[in-house]
Structure 1
Amino acid sequence: MSQVSENKMGSMPEGRLVVTMSLPIMLSMLVQALYNIVDSAFVARISEDALTAVSLAFPVQLLMIACAIGMGVGINVLLSRSLGQKRQEEADAVAMNGIFLSICLWIVFAALGLLFGRRFIASFTDVATVVEMGTSYVTVVTTASCGVFLLFVAERFMQATGNTVYHMITQLIGAVLNCILDPLLIFGIGPFPRLGTTGAALATVLAQIIAMLIGFWINIRFNHDVNLRLRGFRPNGAILRGIIRIGLPAAVQQSLLSLLTVCMNRVLMPFSQTAVSFYGVYYKLQNFLYMPIYGLNNALIPMIGYNYGAQRHDRIHRITRSALLLSLGIMAAGTLLFELAPVPLLRLFNASDEMLAIGVPAIRIIAISFCLAGVSVALCGCMQGLGRSGASLAVALVRQFIVVLPAVMLLARVSLPAVWFAFPLAEAVGFAVALLLYRRQSAMPPEQKAG
Structure 2
Amino acid sequence: MTDKALNLGKGPILPLLLKMSGPSIATVLVVNLYSLIDAFWLARLSPNALAALTIIFPIQLILGGVGVGTGLGAGSYAARMFGAGENRKARQTAGQVFFLSAVLGTLFIGAVLTGPEHILRFLGATTEIIPLSRQYLLTLLPGVPFLFLIMMTSNLLRAEGRPHLVMYSALLFSAVSCILDPFLIFGWGPFPRLEIRGAAAAAVISQIAGALLAAYYLQQKSSKYKLKWHYLRPDYRIIWSIYQTGFPSIIINLAVSLGMLLHNHILGGYSYLAVATLGIVSRVNGLVMIALYGIGHGLMPMVAYSEGANLRSRLKETVKIAVKISFGIALLCLLIVEVFAPAIAALFSDGSELRNLTATALRINILILITAAPSLMWINMFIGLGQGKTAMVLLVGRETLILIPLLWLLPSSFGINGVWMAQPLANALSFLFILYWTKRQFRIFDSQISGEA
Deviation at 1:140, TM superposition (A): 2.2
Amino acid in the other structure paired with 2:63: M
- Please list every run of 5 or more consecutive structure 2 residues that lacks an aligned counterpart in the other structure: 449-453
Deviation at 1:139, TM superposition (A): 1.4
Correspondence for 1:280: 279
Within the alignment, does 1:112 sit opposite 2:111 as a pair?
Answer: yes
Correspondence for 1:421: 421
Correspondence 1:291-330 to 2 at 5 A: 291-330=290-329
**Structure 2 CA distance for aligned equivalents of residues 133 and 179 of structure 1:** 20
Correspondence for 1:201: 200
Within the alignment, does 1:67 sit opposite 2:66 as a pair?
Answer: yes
- Please list every run of 5 or more consecutive structure 1 residues that lacks an aligned counterpart in the other structure: none
Q: 1:46 to 1:233 in 2, by over 3 A?
A: closer
- CA contact under 8 A between 1:174 and 1:207: conserved in structure 2? yes
Correspondence 1:289-438 to 2 at 5 A: 289-350=288-349, 352-414=351-413, 415-438=415-438
- CA contact under 8 A between 1:109 and 1:143: conserved in structure 2? no
Residues 221-259 of structure 1: CA deviation (Å, up to 9, x unaligned): 254200211247531111111111110111111222211
Count residues with an aligned counterpart.
445
**Structure 1 CA distance for aligned equivalents of residues 231 and 15 of structure 2:** 41
**Structure 2 CA distance for aligned equivalents of residues 368 and 446 of structure 1:** 33
Q: Secondary structure at the match of 1:10?
A: coil
Deviation at 1:35, TM superposition (A): 0.5
**Structure 1 CA distance for aligned equivalents of residues 231 and 246 of structure 2:** 26
Amino acid in the other structure paired with 1:272: S
Correspondence for 1:247: 246
Which has the higher mean CA deviation after the structures are superposed, 435-444 or 220-229? 220-229
- CA contact under 8 A between 2:8 and 2:306: conserved in structure 1? yes
Q: Secondary structure at the match of 2:297?
A: helix
Residues 42-73 of structure 1: CA deviation (Å, up to 9, x unaligned): 00111111111111011111110110010011
Within the alignment, does 1:441 sit opposite 2:445 as a pair?
Answer: no
**Structure 1 CA distance for aligned equivalents of residues 231 and 8 of structure 2:** 31
Within the alignment, does 1:259 sit opposite 2:253 as a pair?
Answer: no
**Structure 1 CA distance for aligned equivalents of residues 363 and 223 of structure 2:** 47
Amino acid in the other structure paired with 2:345: L
Deviation at 1:401, TM superposition (A): 3.0
- CA contact under 8 A between 1:158 and 1:219: conserved in structure 2? yes
- CA contact under 8 A between 2:170 and 2:210: conserved in structure 1? yes
**Structure 1 CA distance for aligned equivalents of residues 16 and 59 of structure 2:** 35
Correspondence for 1:166: 165
- CA contact under 8 A between 1:398 and 1:429: conserved in structure 2? no
Q: Secondary structure at the match of 1:195?
A: coil
Residues 63-84 of structure 1: CA deviation (Å, up to 9, x unaligned): 1011001001110111111111
**Structure 2 CA distance for aligned equivalents of residues 148 and 107 of structure 1:** 12
Amino acid in the other structure paired with 1:142: L
Which has the higher mean CA deviation after the structures are superposed, 409-418 or 187-196? 409-418
Deviation at 1:290, TM superposition (A): 1.5
Amino acid in the other structure paired with 1:356: R
**Structure 1 CA distance for aligned equivalents of residues 219 and 206 of structure 2:** 20
Correspondence for 1:100: 99
Q: TM-score, normalised by structure 2?
A: 0.94
Deviation at 1:143, TM superposition (A): 3.2
- CA contact under 8 A between 1:358 and 1:417: conserved in structure 2? no
**Structure 2 CA distance for aligned equivalents of residues 230 and 206 of structure 1:** 26
Q: 1:447 to 1:181 in 2, by over 3 A?
A: farther
**Structure 1 CA distance for aligned equivalents of residues 75 and 237 of structure 2:** 16
**Structure 2 CA distance for aligned equivalents of residues 441 and 408 of structure 1:** 31
Deviation at 1:317, TM superposition (A): 0.8
Q: 1:311 to 1:446 in 2, by over 3 A?
A: farther
Amino acid in the other structure paired with 2:437: L
Deviation at 1:289, TM superposition (A): 1.3
**Structure 2 CA distance for aligned equivalents of residues 319 and 79 of structure 1:** 19
**Structure 2 CA distance for aligned equivalents of residues 78 and 438 of structure 1:** 21
Amino acid in the other structure paired with 2:427: E
